[in-house]
Amino acid sequence: MRIKFSQMILLLYLSFAAFSCRFSGFTTMNSPGPKLSKATVFAPDFIKALYKAELTLHGQTITGIIVVKERDDGYQMAMVSEVGLKYFEFFFPGGSPLDGHAVYMMAVLDRGPVKEALIKSFGLLFREAEYNSHSHLKMNETGKTVLLTNKGKRGRFSYYYKPLSGEVEQLQYDRFLGTKTSIKLSDYKNDAPGSIVVYRGKISMNLQRL
């Protein structure tokens, strides 16, 4: 019992240390001001985007094209191979994209852990950043990056974004004793990022807009 307790204390210490290091160089924003934009991945006027995709799932890599479309009730995402073979199709409801579901999934990919990882990771892209009593805003030393953190029942969400445009540069999702998801975004082209790179455990995804 002592060993388990000591291991838990060590884990808590390491988690706190990692949390402290991650936010070093940022200071709390007491009064954000009206010029501060909200964190945004897909702009309000976004309609559709195509991405060349490379997914590595537990050591196996598949490539193809991913299409992302906005619908009245949420977002639709599908991936097909270069010859038109569909790998999967997901739907992410507006307001609760983390509760997305698979409309179709190729049998070889239709495994619990893989399906959950893909849906949760992609769902983060469509989640609306929250600004409420559970949110914290920080600014880095150069004034070029804002850090917004939301903490709730699902875990902690962190958005690193540009204060004027609202373009998210990095998005992280942490669950205590759970799998961490990290997404890097860049090369925004008006309504959506040109590059999306996702890391979640043994799964990684590289999307480059066409």
Enter the pTM of the model.
0.84
Distance of CA 44 to the CA centre of its chain: 18
Which stretches of the chain drop beneath a pLDDT of 50?
Answer: 1-3, 5, 8-23
Domains annotated for the chain, with CATH where assigned, are 24-209 (2.50.20)
Question: What is the per-residue pLDDT for 4?
Answer: 56
List of residues 6+ apart from 85 with CB closer than 8 A: 64, 106
Pairing of strands 74-80, 86-93: antiparallel
List of residues 6+ apart from 88 with CB closer than 8 A: 78, 79, 102, 104, 105, 106, 109, 118
CA dist., res. 51 & res. 125, Å (int): 14
Question: What is the per-residue pLDDT for 178?
Answer: 76
Residue with tokens 């537990």: 58
Question: What is the per-residue pLDDT for 7?
Answer: 53
The tokens describing 48, both together, are: 């559709």
Question: What is the per-residue pLDDT for 39?
Answer: 95
